[in-house]
A and B are shown apart, each in its own frame.
Chain A
Amino acid sequence: MNLVHAGLGAAVAVGVLSALLALITPRRLRLVPVGVGTVLVGAFGVLAGAVAVAGQAYSVEIPALLPLFGVSFAVDALSGLFLVVTGGVAIAVAVYGIGYARHGLDGRGVQAVLPLFVLAMLLVPAAASVGTFLVCWELMALTSLVLVLAEHQQRDTVAVAGRWYAVMTHLGMVAILIGLLVLVAHSADDSFPALRAAATNLSPVVANVVFVLTLVGFTSKAGILPLHAWLPRAHPEAPSHVSALMSAAMVNLGIYGIARVGFDLLGGGPRWWWLLVLVLGALSAVYGILQAAMSSDLKRLLGNSTTENMGLVLVGVGAAGLFASAGDDVLAGVALSAALLHVINHAAFKTLLFLSAGSVLHATGSRDLDALGGLRAGMPVTTWGFGLGALAASALPPGTAFVSEWLLLQALIHGLPASGAATAIVMPVAVAAVALTAGLAVATFVKAFGVGFLARPRSSAAANATESPVSMLAGMGLAAVACVTLALVPSVVLPAVGSASTMTLGTAQPAVSGQVTLQLNGVAGALSPLLLTVALLVVSVVLVGAVRLIAARRARRTARLWDCGAGPLSPRMEYTATSFAEPLQRVFDDVVQPEQDIDVTHHQESSYLVQAVEYRQRVPDRLERRLYEPVLRLITAWGSVARRLATGSVHRYLGYGFYTVCGLLILLVVIR
């Protein structure tokens, strides 16, 4: 019996069953069965993926399920890796959701859609034909849209975010649809093996069109520049566990799509494809983290950081393609392994961060860092969770991103200009972008953690915050365990990453190996995160002992904070997230272009006396200004022009129909 088959089948059955269960059970009893069902869906996904990664091939065709093109699934190592990641995120999120959904999110629709969303995300990487892939992709888009809109009755901004998300995700879908259909038109049928066979004698122009169109669609899903605009909108407005699912699992599928189409279906391709991917990735990484550094909305910050991390992954994917097109299999393997490892790591820490942010939102009702602070007293577990996630996200040891960014940099610095001047220019810039991203990520996450959780509460809601229910803490705990494991012993996922990257690139041996020390195969490079952590711990313990021994054994004394003798300090005197980021914002003034507005109100009696000063500052998304607003204006203008055609007269509309049919008939006569 094939375990992949069993796992996927069970996931589908349990997913559909828990959706049905959500529809028929009463509100009070709904959460636990749906939560358990979703955990099972995730667990079966992990099982199927793990078995596939271990080498068990699987494919199935069910021609009768969908009319015209049928349904076919196949799971290889690359799909398996994404199945494991998605399933793992779903488990943590589902456990968390049991407690989190208790307040307003226990409606029938939302609860029924959650397991379906997880299921759709599991089926996307398992799809093995264009028809199946697109149906699953659309199912994923629709279910996630329903979940994003879950809280539309509480806040007006949810509907706006939902509209942005719906439009952009569907435009992306259209691009993927056209791209894949162009490819299908040149092959025997729409199954992936047929496409693979057809790609070998595809004309370069067609291949370019297919790649660019699918790249547009997949980057819009992954939140890559310039199609990222939905991401910082939808992530903050979605319920936090849905944000975690979207940010840690769904965006990865954009990366999966690029790897599947670029490497597998089209079999590599010219160098410029991958240069484009790499440059887009580097730009997204720097731009995303800059926006995150300026943001004072906790979940928006995390959403922007998703753009950054997906950018880093794309840098790895682009470098892998670049090296593969130059014939350097070893480096291509290192780069793709770095990208896939970062996908896994990002999934772990972003789940933890979003779940912690949700816990804060649950306790205080606020995402605004300027109004938080001092949560460590009331919410110690959440504080630890967020701290761990922030450490993991900021590429510092012992964190997860530290390992994958190290691997990514290894791939980049070994890329000597064997393949021409373009590489020699792009590689250093990519190195600089990754390094700049690492530096800015440190500042961003110190801000998020330090201002949000340490210091003193800046609002009464933050002061009275209490810890979240046990199921939420358990969900965060699962994600935290994953973070710690990946940070200390990344070798547990190395075989999976290795087999996925060797399968995708068609290389002989995995690029990275080792148990305690990560060792690159073929090029010099070794790093041991475990030894590093042990060294830090040993030194700390020795240090504590030494300080006890030589320093005075006098007890700590508590004292007042230094207040310059001006009486007790109030929270209003503290630095806020905005003021914390202000120096950095000045440094990158030319890039982010903040908008400032000062209103000075004078006393009526005298214009020399100031009554009140009001200062507003906003850091708009500059790309959005430049790219989206002209397009939106154009569409609005078109709409108002087209309104002249629609006068409300039925005769007119019938006339339009008549003329259109006549025109089509004439056209047919002419071209036939």
Chain B
Amino acid sequence: MNALGVIGGVLQFVLVVAGSPFLVGVMRQVRARLEGRAGAGIGQPWRDLRKLLRKESITPRGTSEVFRIAPLVLVATTVVVAIVAPFVTTASAVDSVADLFAVVALLALGTVALALAGLDTGTAFGGMGASREMTIIALVEPTLLVSIFALSVRVGSTNLGAIVTSTLQDPARVISPVSLLAAVALVVVIIAETGRLPVDNPSTHLELTMVHEAMILEYAGRDLGLVEWASAMRLTAFLGLLANLFVPWGIATAATPVALLAGVAAFVIKVVLLGVLLSAGEVFLAKLRLFRVPELLAGSFLLSLLAVTASFFLAQPH
């Protein structure tokens, strides 16, 4: 734990917690404009959150503590990831947690909490959403792990900060086959994990197509606000990981004001750019049939396997 890490942790926390609703706002706005609508403005998710947080939570009859704790677990895991992962600075506030396996497992833990909450309601919707989400996570988690392992093999460490630092020092790696394969695999699973098109439509409430929304159908008021907020933060965290694993430039490596400012600016620009690309891409896509989704995910798993195999063959013993 050093000064850079602590400052970075605080900055990342503030950026992700306060900025993630704006990211969602930007993405919705881009989509609205491309579809010829005026859009509600980029502040709308924040206004929604404020409204939801003022309302009381509703506990459906027959649900247990699992249902009530799940939003908390979801937000807590996401916030821990937001603090420790290398978004603004290469050093981490808690370096021994900034491990790839830990970060991926933390994000999975949040999903598991929501799935259990969905099952806890005992409705058909909850079970359906949980079942689908677990099918997706069962393929997404391995792909995430394997594709980032592909990057960590040549670094010799699974610490995310170390992976980012090593890419900074050796920029030629970005265009190696390992990186490209891993990047494609990661993009696919991030789309799946954050529930975007073509895997899940974040703005639908049709039972045949729902995944994420089906699990959280029973939430209302404050709890729903927390879940929505956490989804926005997870999206930011995933895009931030994607950006910094492959294009880490701009990230602060020293605790000077200029470097930190550049780090914040670079993170914001990269994440917003990726968000805009994602939402612009969504305009041209229709949702995939649910049972075609695993094919997509299996494909990305194979890509990540290729990436890790390539990394073993291309790696130089050090």
Contact = CB atoms under 8 A, between A and B. Distances in A.
A and B found bound together: yes
Interface of A: 293, 373-374, 376-377, 394-397, 402, 405-406, 409-410, 413-414, 416-418, 424-425, 427-429, 431-432, 435-436, 438-440, 442-443, 446-447, 449-451, 454-456, 517-518, 523-528, 531-532, 535-536, 539-540, 543-544, 547, 550-552, 554-563, 569, 571, 573-575, 579-584, 586-587
B278 interface: no
A397 B313 CA distance: 32
A512 B236 CA distance: 35
Interface string B16-51: 000000000000000000000000000000000000
B101 A527 contact: yes
A581 B127 CA distance: 11
A435 B201 CA distance: 27
Interface stretch (B108-116, B167-175, B239-247, B264-272): B108-116
A416 B308 CA distance: 11
Q: Which interface residue of B102, B294, B312 has the most chain A CB atoms within 10 A?
A: B312
Contacts of B101: 402, 405-406, 409, 527
B159 A524 contact: yes
Q: How large is the interface on B (under 10, 10 to 19, 20 to 34, 35 or more residues)?
A: 35 or more
A455 B122 contact: yes
A550 B53 contact: yes
A535 B312 contact: no
B287 interface: no
Contacts of A454: 64, 66, 116, 119-120, 122
A395 B99 CA distance: 14
B146 A580 contact: no
A525 B298 CA distance: 29
A-B interface, 10 closest residue pairs, ranked by CB to CB distance from nearest: A575-B127, A450-B119, A554-B56, A528-B96, A435-B142, A439-B141, A455-B122, A456-B122, A587-B294, A524-B157
A517 B83 CA distance: 18
Interface in B63-92: 64, 66, 68, 72-73, 75-77, 79-80, 83-84
Contact of A535 (B83, B142, B291): B83
B152 interface: yes
Given A535-B84, A583-B135, A416 B158 contact: no
Given A558-B59, A587-B298, A535 B80 contact: yes
A555 B221 CA distance: 11
A586 B138 contact: no
Given A431-B146, A561-B60, A580 B131 contact: yes
Given A547-B226, A558-B61, A559-B61, A447 B97 contact: no
B222 interface: yes
A547 B17 CA distance: 13
B60 A409 contact: no
A547 B222 contact: yes
A525 B158 contact: yes
B308 A584 contact: no
Contacts of B56: 552, 554-557
A524 B54 contact: no
Contacts, number: 267
Contact of A424 (B119, B139, B152, B313): B313
Nearest to B295: A587
B97 A524 contact: no
Interface in B129-176: 130-132, 134-135, 137-143, 145-146, 149, 152-153, 156-159, 162
A485 B128 CA distance: 35
Nearest to A398: B109
A554 B142 contact: no
A100 B68 CA distance: 33
Contacts of B55: 552, 554
A396 B105 contact: yes
Given A406-B99, A432-B146, A575-B127, A557 B53 contact: no
B59 to A, nearest CB: 5
Most chain A beta carbons < 10 A, residue from B59, B124, B132: B124
Contacts of A584: 134-135, 138
Contacts of A536: 76-77, 80, 106
A376 B67 CA distance: 12
Nearest to B95: A526
A446 B76 contact: no
A598 B221 CA distance: 45
A191 B238 CA distance: 58
B257 interface: no
B225 interface: yes
Nearest to A458: B122
A397 B109 contact: yes
A557 B59 CA distance: 6
Contacts of B124: 569, 573-575
Contacts of B149: 409, 413, 431, 435
Nearest to A514: B96
A553 B36 CA distance: 41
B10 interface: no
Given A425-B309, A560-B60, 7 more contacts: A431-B146, A442-B141, A454-B66, A561-B60, A569-B123, A583-B291, A587-B298
A435 B145 contact: yes
A551 B122 contact: no
A527 B311 CA distance: 23
Contact of B59 (A377, A440, A556): A556
B116 A449 contact: yes
Contact of A455 (B83, B120, B157, B313): B120
A450 B96 contact: no
Most buried by A among B58, B66, B76, B131: B131
Contacts of A438: 105, 141-142, 145
A563 B105 CA distance: 34
B186 interface: no
